[in-house]
Structure 1
Amino acid sequence: MSFWKKPAESAGYLSGVAFFEGFSNEDLARVASLSGELKVGSGAMVIDQGDTGVDCYVIMEGTASVRVRDEEVATLGSGDMVGEMALIDHRPRTASVVATTDMHLLRFNSRQFRQLLTEMPKAEERVMTMLTERLRAEGGPSNE
């Protein structure tokens, strides 16, 4: 289903994805109108370490391996966002993301991502929470 073509129907589809939990139907329809859809096969390189970031993704279906210099550092699945760090700090990608199954992704270019964060405080909060959890898991700075 091309979910962004019918925002009203898309809300039901997107409401089942963890990243969008608690979003209103109106917010979900706006998410659908801001985003695009991407399907990739198992083994596809979704993000290549070192590249300039122009898109980020929410995994709708499927799983992926996050790799730093060919070493797996994480596994991602439905509801996870990938690629947002390069859009926030405007630096090259810090890891590669490779599909380990066929995947269905929701894609945001940098302009759409900024709009998402500006228009939806809940989305901004989710992204900041994800980034904080990653920093803590990697032993980064904390206030503890």
Structure 2
Amino acid sequence: MNELDFTKPVGPRKPSVEATAKPSIYDPAMAAEFFGSVGKPEPVAKGATIFAENEKGNRLLLRRDKMYLLLDGEVTLTAKNKVIGKIGKGEIFGEMASISEMPRSATAVAKTPCRVIALDDGQFQSALRKKPEFALMLMSVMIGRMRHAIGLQNPGGPASEGKMKESAVFDKSALAILARALSQTTVRYERNKVIVKEGQAGVMMYVVLEGRLAVSIRGKLVERIGAGGVFGEMALVERTPRLATVTSETDCGLLAFGRNTLLDLIKASPDFAVSLLGAVSDRARFI
């Protein structure tokens, strides 16, 4: 992330994305270009299991989790022996486990003969350095799935609070680099202040420099965020209402910035993009 330098232009600035973008930013053609830049199509027979629930990669055994782009056919996703979704042509799947290095949350089976492109973490990062803006689109896919999952269940609860730990995305070194690059965006809040509110429009995202914050959905605590953590990125990526309320539990120092700065960060540093994708993936699993 050392390459973060906003004194050098990334390129000609385009018209404000706030004024021109549509609610959904997923583009199958862009996904095909991204996956095809480092991977090759491969066939999958009807009935074949692409990956299994609770399966986990092992780098020591050279077995890595992969994410997939479905070029042709249909894939069924099941969890606990129940169908939870279907993947169609042009859609991405399997990205959560690949990015977060956590066990698979579902089983993927080819319902029809399929063609896919599979990328491991190394291939994904290589492609991301060529096309960093793809990270924003992938975040939109992951956030959409999270919103759908939350709509089907009751998030959080007493049991989860007992296991709560502070989430952090950036280590001290990366956080210091961000703080220098975005020094003019620093804001401070006293304890017990509501910083973002569930259901409201979101125009800023935040990186925590110091302090601790609580995240709640429908009045239930689902996460705590400490130094190096992020929040507010979901509404910023999708331009949809805030999914959660975030309240300061201590005095806090934050970096607060908008969508254009987020885009500049992603283009300047694919490492930043990978870290943010990991945060979205972990949050989806935790919630």
The whole-number CA distance in structure 2 between the counterparts of 1:118 and 1:126 is 13
The whole-number CA distance in structure 2 between the counterparts of 1:29 and 1:96 is 24
Q: Which residue of the other structure, out of 206, 210, 221, is the alignment partner of 1:72?
A: 221
Partner of 1:123: 272
Q: Which residue of the other structure, out of 196, 210, 222, is the alignment partner of 1:61?
A: 210
The whole-number CA distance in structure 2 between the counterparts of 1:114 and 1:42 is 30
Whether 2:231 is the aligned partner of 1:82: answer yes
Runs of 4+ with deviation above 6 angstroms: none
Relative to structure 2, which stretch is displaced further, 32-41 or 71-80? 32-41
Percent of pairs identical after alignment?
A: 27
Q: How does 1:1-144 map to 2 (within 5 A)?
A: 19=170, 23=174, 28=177, 32-33=181-182, 36-138=185-287
Query: Is 1:64–1:75's contact at 8 Å kept on the other side of the alignment?
Result: yes
Relative to structure 2, which stretch is displaced further, 96-105 or 112-121? 112-121
Structure 2 counterpart of 1:81, which letter?
V
Partner of 2:130: none
User: Normalising by the residue count of structure 2, what TM-score does the alignment of the two structures yield?
Assistant: 0.38
User: In the TM superposition, what whole-angstrom CA distance separates every residue of 1:24-70 from its partner, at most 9, and x where no partner exists?
Assistant: x8xx2796247500000001111111111100111111001101122
Distance apart, 1:134 and its partner CA: 1.4
User: Normalising by the residue count of structure 1, what TM-score does the alignment of the two structures yield?
Assistant: 0.74
The whole-number CA distance in structure 1 between the counterparts of 2:179 and 2:210 is 20
Query: Is 1:61–1:77's contact at 8 Å kept on the other side of the alignment?
Result: yes
Gap change, CA 1:30 and 1:99, over 3 Å in 2? closer
* Structure 1 residues not aligned, in runs of 5+: 1-6, 8-16, 139-144
* Structure 2 residues not aligned, in runs of 5+: 1-6, 8-167
Distance apart, 1:18 and its partner CA: 5.8
RMSD: 2.4
Gap change, CA 1:76 and 1:82, over 3 Å in 2? same
Query: Is 1:86–1:93's contact at 8 Å kept on the other side of the alignment?
Result: yes
The whole-number CA distance in structure 2 between the counterparts of 1:37 and 1:102 is 14
User: In the TM superposition, what whole-angstrom CA distance separates every residue of 1:100-122 from its partner, at most 9, and x where no partner exists?
Assistant: 10000011111111111121101
The whole-number CA distance in structure 1 between the counterparts of 2:170 and 2:219 is 27
Relative contact order, CA 8 A, sep 6+: which one is greater? 1
- Where 2:281 maps in the other structure, the secondary structure is helix
- Where 1:58 maps in the other structure, the secondary structure is strand
Distance apart, 1:20 and its partner CA: 5.1
- Where 1:50 maps in the other structure, the secondary structure is coil
